[in-house]
């Protein structure tokens, strides 16, 4: 009779995995729904980003179109907001919300927003930690509990990064909605739709943190099981 072994530590990952799938589905659903609803003023994603940038004196920040789906981001190294094709020239409510969110990041950077500065500062350490964490953890399982714990500490930097990311993303969305509201270009229904898209997107960052925490818990379970 064959012997089958199931690692029950995987069970701690299931809730976070489900949460992540649901969050991603909500983002796709909200974006597709509200990007088919056009703004009455024919504002495009690029227009929305430019409006917010100019109102904050960021005339030097450029806006470019890039390939991909929902690949929108602000690059502080070059002071460029890059918007995907589905956002850049689209007059959909979702596109306006996403573009405004990225402009919110540009404003954060210009103002020296604390959480964004912290996130930028820990990126190099986080990248190194994420690459070394699992190899060190595996070595620790073979030779030393202390080494395994060091690997877990390195992996925990990922959770720290995700935790710092939350206020950065929430604040950018808040700035975006306040700017769109004060512009008086969108109706209350259009603003509500943009807010729903950004709220759904925010869940993906919460899901990323939940996934990192559940992985840390699983590594702790494995390390302590091997120690026993």
pTM above 0.85, yes or no: yes
CA angle 129, 131, 137 (to 5 degrees): 80
Instruction: Write down the mean pLDDT value for the chain.
Output: 92
Instruction: Using the predicted structure, report yes or no on whether residue 3 has a pLDDT greater than 60.
Output: no
Q: Note whether 194 and 100 are within 8 A (CB).
A: yes
Q: What is the pLDDT of residue 6?
A: 58
Q: What is the pLDDT of residue 8?
A: 76
Q: What is the pLDDT of residue 10?
A: 82
Task: Name the helix (H) or strand (E) containing 62.
Answer: strand 62-66
* Closest listed residue to residue 176, CA positions, set 114, 97, 119, 87: 97
Question: Alpha-carbon distance 195 to 191, whole Å?
Answer: 6
Question: Alpha-carbon distance 184 to 190, whole Å?
Answer: 11
Q: What is the mean predicted confidence (pLDDT) over 95-119? A: 95
Q: Which entry of 64, 102, 111, 178 is annotated as an active-site residue?
A: 102
pLDDT tens sequence across 23-58? 999 999 999 999 899 999 999 999 999 999 999 999
Question: Alpha-carbon distance 126 to 90, whole Å?
Answer: 35
In the residue annotation, 102 being an active-site residue is answered as yes
Instruction: Using the predicted structure, report yes or no on whether residue 103 has a pLDDT greater than 90.
Output: yes
Q: What is the pLDDT of residue 4?
A: 45
Counted residue by residue, the chain has a size of 228
Q: Note whether 147 and 168 are within 8 A (CB).
A: no
Q: Note whether 89 and 65 are within 8 A (CB).
A: yes
């Amino acid at each position: 009779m064959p012997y089958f072994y199931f690692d029950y530590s995987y069970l701690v990952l299931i809730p976070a995995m489900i949460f992540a799938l649901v969050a991603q589905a909500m983002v796709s659903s909200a974006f597709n729904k509200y990007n088919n609803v056009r703004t009455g003023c024919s504002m495009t994603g690029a227009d929305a980003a430019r409006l917010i940038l100019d109102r904050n004196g960021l005339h030097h920040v450029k806006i470019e179109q890039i390939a991909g789906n929902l690949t929108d981001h602000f690059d502080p190294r070059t002071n460029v907001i890059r918007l995907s094709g589905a956002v850049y020239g689209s007059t959909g409510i979702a596109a306006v919300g996403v573009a405004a969110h990225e402009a919110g990041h540009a404003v954060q950077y210009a103002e020296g927003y604390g959480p964004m500065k912290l996130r930028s500062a820990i990126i190099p350490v986080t990248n190194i930690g994420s690459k070394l964490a699992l190899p060190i953890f595996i070595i620790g399982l073979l030779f030393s509990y202390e080494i395994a714990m060091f690997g877990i500490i390195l992996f925990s930097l990922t959770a720290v990064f995700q935790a710092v990311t939350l206020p950065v993303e929430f604040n950018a969305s808040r700035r975006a909605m306040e700017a769109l509201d004060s512009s008086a270009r969108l109706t209350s229904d259009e603003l509500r739709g943009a807010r729903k898209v950004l709220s759904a997107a925010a869940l993906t960052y919460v899901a990323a943190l939940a996934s990192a925490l559940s992985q840390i818990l699983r590594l702790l379970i494995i390390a302590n099981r091997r120690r026993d």
